[in-house]
Amino acid sequence: MAILVCSDVTMSYEGVNVFEHLSFRLERGEYLCILGENGSGKSTLMKGLLGLLKPAGGKIEYSDGLTRNEIGYLPQQSPVQRDFPASVYEVVLSGTLNRRGMRPFYGKRERALADKNIERLSIEHLKKSCYRDLSGGQQQRVLLARALCATKSLLLLDEPVTGLDPVVSAEFYDLISDINKNDNITIIMVSHDVKQSIKCATHILHLENKTCFYGTVKDYIKSSVSDQFIKDR
């Protein structure tokens, strides 16, 4: 069953159409990488998927019982966010906020979920550490654990390895693939890493000069859309 359906979507920025007439559907458990040069509309689409920006045309719909406040999101970090003065446990626990409802305090279920995802991301030894004292790779694991606390089915990741060294980046990509395959969580990831995207993803969405490609990795490799993009890398 489709977890996401985009129907004839046009997204605009400051009154100018960034891309037009985009249609695709994503099934539960699939892994979509969104590729394209800077300014092609990747971030604009991500804002649309999160409900932060309304499409200029068409519709973005979630199904399979999913609502937008049940989406796990790992954004690009700003310097201010990297310097956030909270413990690792507090950051991860904050991912359960929407599950808490109107209750003023976190309950046993929320704390158990935070502990589960801290263990899942192998950061138990950092639980009491201050978030701002961590390395970039450790901070990304913390934020991924937080995002997992917010969802059971869909993760959106916006260039999650930016600023990480190659070894840490490869470990993080492996971690995301493991979550996708073993937890059956659908992944939508914005990336500039074409080789890694082709290796990990099931589907590619390529945004370029107001034209769009959507299809399987196999079809993308065969397409004319990918030719120059892959050669340049």
Tens digits of residue pLDDT in 128-139: 999 999 999 999
Query: Angle at the Cα of 226 (from 224 to 231), degrees rounded to 5?
Result: 110
What pairing do the DSSP bridges indicate for beta strands 186-190 and 31-35? parallel
Rounded Cα distance, 229 and 70, in Å: 34
User: Cα-flanking dihedrals φ and ψ of residue 18, to 5°?
Assistant: -85, -45
Per-residue pLDDT, averaged over 82-88, amounts to 84
| Predicted TM-score (pTM) above 0.85 | yes
Domain extent listing, the chain: 1-71+154-233, 78-150
Side by side, the strands of the sheet bearing 16-27 are 16-27, 2-13, 57-62
| Per-residue pLDDT, 230 | 67
Query: What share of the chain has pLDDT > 90, as a percent?
Result: 63
Per-residue pLDDT, averaged over 97-125, amounts to 87
Instruction: Identify the weakest region by mean pLDDT among 82-91, 96-105, 180-189.
Output: 96-105
Nearest to 200 by CA among 179, 219, 222, 177: 177
Fold annotation for 1-71+154-233: Rossmann fold (3.40.50)
pLDDT bucket at 30, cuts 50 / 70 / 90: very high
What pairing do the DSSP bridges indicate for beta strands 186-190 and 154-158? parallel
| Per-residue pLDDT, 226 | 77
Nearest to 138 by CA among 66, 88, 95: 88
Mean pLDDT of all residues belonging to the chain: 89
